[in-house]
Amino acid sequence: MKLWLTALALAAALGSAHAQDFNWRKDAGTTITFLSSNHPWANSVLKYKDEFTKLTGITVKVDTYQEQQMRQRLMTVMNANSDEVDLFMSLPSREGAQFAKAGWYANLEPFITKDVSKDYDFGDFSKGLVAAETHGSLVSGIPLNIEGPVLYYRKDIFKKCGVTPPKSLDDLLSVAKKIKACDPSITPFVSRGLKGALPYTFSVFLHNMGGSYMTAQRKSDLCSAAGKAALTLYATLLRDYGPPGVVNYNFYQISSLYRDGKAAMAFESSNELKSVMEGGARLNDTGVMLLPPGPGGSHPTVIGWGISVSAHSKHKEAAWYFVQWATSPAMQARLALMGIAPPRASVANDPSYRKWIDAEPVRREWIDAIDQANATGTSEVGYPIVANIASRDYIGQAVDDLLLGQKPVQQACAEADRELDALIAKD
């Protein structure tokens, strides 16, 4: 409770300081629309949007959808050059290059340099996340979090079944097999099976196997030995040790299954910590680790969401004020105490946050995994091309073809490689 009050006091103090040296009410009376994903960051920050309105006089209309539906809505609005949306959440590792090329992001660089409160400190953000948001002279968004896939596992089930945390990718398969034999009532392993979503988790398997998406000659490389091994292992884990209907699983279903005690291992985003710990049932029996290394070593995925202003918005200045408020040191300090890994160095090193981390062993393991991923990871999810979004569907289709037993691995990867080579050629 003291930590919570400390964060509130800090936020109030900074808000008061802002009012003295920065005109937060310059756009009072304006209404802006925020297109939001049903994401832990958004769900947390939007609890306080009335505070933003009180501070600025700006009303925030929020349209929230599940992630896939949010993206569909965003594409419709942007393709129509509509001003219906003023700001939105964006994943630069996924759509950054495409949206920048299409001219859909407002450039935030002028706001950062000329219209910012004294305490904002843009240099405090992770340099890697800022680089992901930078396209030439365009700054497309402000970092919201740091995340990557981690392995949540049930220490009590491991103990009951006489298994230890996997030390290699091969161990992962043998652990799942032993848990299935030990307790058939529980799902040994779950991760993403939904075609467009699974590259986020599959990419770690590919990189740890020693594979990459493209060759030096810019050809798709899913049919390499490492690529086929990664496809086979991922599909086998989901087919033989995953839940029924896993081909439709995204992070919502995975977090729910694990939180409800129905899965022994869940390979899902670190950002789902709050969700899987909700209710407290998993607080004392969960361990967190990175995916174990494979023949290619350990190459965790690390990415971050950003918040962006639409190039079509008629209220860019007001939208920027919301961005600035939502990504301020004070707000990110609040959200850090809710399990949103902060992209600001000052918040990550804040004594209140470190005390919160140290209060529970699972939080310590969680942040250790994130820190390792941040230090050694890669943001490559899908193909590093403008058509990254389309590339993910072909990767997912290859996995699902194996998962559903529709094609052998050579046919699945060869068909994907043909389609992906055509995408790469257009880049």
If you average pLDDT over every residue of the chain, what do you get?
93
pLDDT in tens, 343-401: 999 999 999 999 999 999 999 999 999 999 999 999 999 999 999 999 999 999 999 99
- pLDDT of 18 > 50? The answer is no
Q: What pLDDT is stored for residue 5 in this prediction?
A: 32
- Residue 346 forms beta bridges with which residues? none
Residue 14, pLDDT above cutoff 90: no
pLDDT at 4: 32
Q: So what's the pLDDT on residue 16? A: 38
Give the CATH architecture of domain 149-301+379-426.
Answer: 3-Layer(aba) Sandwich (3.40)
Distance CA 276, CA 274 (A): 6
For the chain, the maximum distance between any two Cα atoms, rounded to a whole number of angstroms, is 66
Per-residue 3-state assignment (H helix, E strand, C coil) for 144-186: CCCECEEEEEEHHHHHHCCCCCCCCHHHHHHHHHHHHHHCCCC
Q: What does the pLDDT average to over 252-264?
A: 97
What local confidence, expressed as pLDDT, does residue 8 receive? 35
Confidence of residue 15 (pLDDT cuts 50, 70, 90): very low
Distance CA 303, CA 146 (A): 6
Query: What pLDDT does residue 21 have?
Result: 65
Q: Do the domains spanning 2-146+303-349 and 149-301+379-426 agree at the CATH topology level?
A: yes
For 392-414, the pLDDT digits (tens) are 999 999 999 999 999 999 999 99
What pLDDT does 346 receive?
A: 96
Strand runs labelled E in 12-86: 31-37, 59-65
Q: What is the pLDDT of residues 288-320, one digit of tens each?
A: 999 999 999 999 999 999 999 999 999 999 999
2-146+303-349 topology per CATH: D-Maltodextrin-Binding Protein; domain 2 (3.40.190)
Short-list 266, 299, 303, CA closest to 282: 266
Could you state, in order of their start, the residue ranges of all structural domains in the chain? 2-146+303-349, 149-301+379-426
pLDDT per residue as tens digits for the range 174-220: 999 999 999 999 999 999 999 999 999 999 999 999 999 999 999 99
